[in-house]
Structure 1
Amino acid sequence: MIHWLVTLVLLPVFLVQGKYVRKNTPKLAEASGPRIISNAPGNTSSTDKLTVLVLGDSAAAGVGVSNQSDALLGQLSTTLCQSLGDKDISLTLMASTGTTTQMALSRIQALAAENFDVVVISLGVNDVTKGISRDKFSSLQHQLMNLLINKFSASVIIATQIPPMHQFPALPNPLRWYLGNRAKQLNKDLTQICQAYKQTHTLTIELPNDPSLMASDGFHPGQPVYQQWAILASEHIVEKIN
């Protein structure tokens, strides 16, 4: 109730600030490079294979760095290979700028069933900016988790929490405060959702409020954030599969 009251009162301000942000924030491209990475161990006879899906939005797609090697996909490949050198590791990226939870759900609903042992998710920022309700967000997240488990046989799902939007340099206040508060609310819901499934876990990236860690647009992760994200996700994956 309070959220919608604040929205109503400050809506004119948010509209002006939103228009300003869209006009003045640099439009960065998604990271270039292969979106499927396979790393087979030296022993080519090994049948111990790990399949990983990175699913989500512009952050998952590597906006903020120039190449996938510096983005989440490439960094995750590197860290997993260092930790699981005896496994044949295959990573697939399905992500694009502007993707909401609904869009990601629709995309994988249209795919043929296949096996992904691990899914790393980056979703939520676009849900926040589009003003999704908490009930709708929770419903879509439940549908997404069930689909990943039942259709794609995911045994480990890592849902990355929405980043601290109240710290995004590209956003002016009070819009920054408003979106940041909404992100915190959806993160609480996401935590509760993940507690309902043995396969699902949340991942929070705790970093100092340092603009230098962000991309040049002040909205997306920089290379150090992608690296830390991959390290934390890799540690989580190794813990859950061993």
Structure 2
Amino acid sequence: MLHQFVLLVMAPIFWAQGKYVRKSIPCLREAEGPRQGHSAQAERNRGRTVQNKQKLRILLIGDSAAAGVGAKHQSQALSGQLIAALRPFFQVEWQLIAKTGYTTKQVIQSARLHPKQMYDVVVVSAGVNDVTKPTSAAQWLKQQQMLTHTLRHQFSCPHIILTQIPPMGRFPALPHPLRWYLGSKAKSFNKQLHHWVSTQPDCEIVNLEGELEPSHMASDGFHPGPVIYQYWGQAVAKLIEARWSSR
């Protein structure tokens, strides 16, 4: 309710600042490179012997951050960093489904359009684009719950990793008071998400807040840079290792 009230009062200022941000920040492309692959095949292509490691099927799905905006190649983005971190322990077959600008609703739709198949782990990045729209925390939580339900139904995945919305109050591209407002709204969204995920045994949250330094962000001041993608990939890998290494 508080954010809806602030939005009503400050709407003219936020509209003007939002228009300025859309015009002023550079439009970065999604990272180039493959959006699916197999780590074992990559090792063979390098002439290396593949050890008998546990096999995992991983799907990454979401928005521009999942798509690697802010990195030149997928090897520097979330997908590449995650596979690199898991390669010593698992044989990973992976796929990436992501698009710049996607809201949680659009991520749900993309999941529903993807052929039904089994994934061991699904990694999700969705929320920043919802924060920038007139969506309440309660509405967004319902969308996240629907997304999780869709992933379970579509992919029979026993492990879902949701990415906490980054601290938008520290995004260099955003002027104040818009930066304060979006940062506060993102915190409200995350609080709701954490409370719900704590009741879901198949879900976990990865938190990037402590590692998001403005100097490590992309040139647009809005997306992650390679350093943040590396931390993100390693943080997700730790959650996967903890749950799957003993199986």
> Do they fold alike, i.e. is TM over 0.5?
yes
Q: Any conservation in 1 of the 2:173–2:221 contact (CA below 8 Å)?
A: yes
Partner of residue 59, structure 1: 65
Q: 1:105 aligns with which of 102, 105, 108?
A: 108
Partner of residue 146, structure 2: 143
Hey, which of these two has a bigger chunk of helix by percent? 2
Q: Which amino acid aligns with 1:15?
A: W
TM-score (norm 1): 0.94
Partner of residue 31, structure 2: 31
1:109–1:208: structure 2 CA closer, same or farther, 3 Å change rule? closer
Q: Any conservation in 2 of the 1:62–1:71 contact (CA below 8 Å)?
A: yes
CA offset at residue 49 of structure 1?
1.7
1:106–1:176: structure 2 CA closer, same or farther, 3 Å change rule? same
Q: Which amino acid aligns with 1:144?
A: L
List alignment gaps of at least 5 residues for structure 1: none
Partner SS state of residue 87, structure 2: helix
Partner SS state of residue 92, structure 1: strand
What is the CA deviation profile of residues 62-99 of structure 1, one whole-angstrom value per residue up to 9, with x for unaligned ones? 000110000000011100002x1xx3211110111001
Q: Any conservation in 1 of the 2:211–2:228 contact (CA below 8 Å)?
A: no
CA offset at residue 111 of structure 1?
2.3
Q: 2:136 aligns with which of 111, 123, 133?
A: 133
Q: Any conservation in 1 of the 2:166–2:209 contact (CA below 8 Å)?
A: no
Partner SS state of residue 155, structure 2: coil
Q: Any conservation in 1 of the 2:27–2:220 contact (CA below 8 Å)?
A: yes
Distance in 1 of aligned mates of 2:239 and 2:213:
25
Q: Which amino acid aligns with 2:33?
A: G
Distance in 2 of aligned mates of 1:15 and 1:193:
32
What is the CA deviation profile of residues 157-187 of structure 1, one whole-angstrom value per residue up to 9, with x for unaligned ones? 1101000000000000000000000000100
What is the CA deviation profile of residues 208-240 of structure 1, one whole-angstrom value per residue up to 9, with x for unaligned ones? 563210000000001100000011110110001
Distance in 1 of aligned mates of 2:155 and 2:213:
38
Q: Which amino acid aligns with 2:152?
A: I
Distance in 1 of aligned mates of 2:115 and 2:148:
16
Partner of residue 170, structure 1: 173
Structure 1 stretch 150-159 or stretch 24-33: which is displaced more? 150-159
Q: Does 1:210 align with 2:213?
A: yes
Q: Any conservation in 1 of the 2:57–2:119 contact (CA below 8 Å)?
A: yes
Q: Any conservation in 2 of the 1:117–1:156 contact (CA below 8 Å)?
A: yes
Structure 1 stretch 118-127 or stretch 137-146: which is displaced more? 137-146
Partner of residue 89, structure 1: 92
CA offset at residue 131 of structure 1?
2.0
What is the CA deviation profile of residues 134-172 of structure 1, one whole-angstrom value per residue up to 9, with x for unaligned ones? 222111111111121232111111101000000000000
Q: Which amino acid aligns with 1:35?
A: R
Q: Any conservation in 2 of the 1:119–1:154 contact (CA below 8 Å)?
A: yes
Aligned length: 238
Partner of residue 12, structure 2: 12
Partner of residue 127, structure 2: 124
List alignment gaps of at least 5 residues for structure 2: 44-48
1:209–1:43: structure 2 CA closer, same or farther, 3 Å change rule? closer
Q: Which amino acid aligns with 2:18?
A: G
Partner of residue 21, structure 1: 21
CA offset at residue 15 of structure 1?
0.4
Q: Any conservation in 2 of the 1:141–1:193 contact (CA below 8 Å)?
A: no
- CA RMSD, 1 decimal: 1.5
1:179–1:147: structure 2 CA closer, same or farther, 3 Å change rule? same
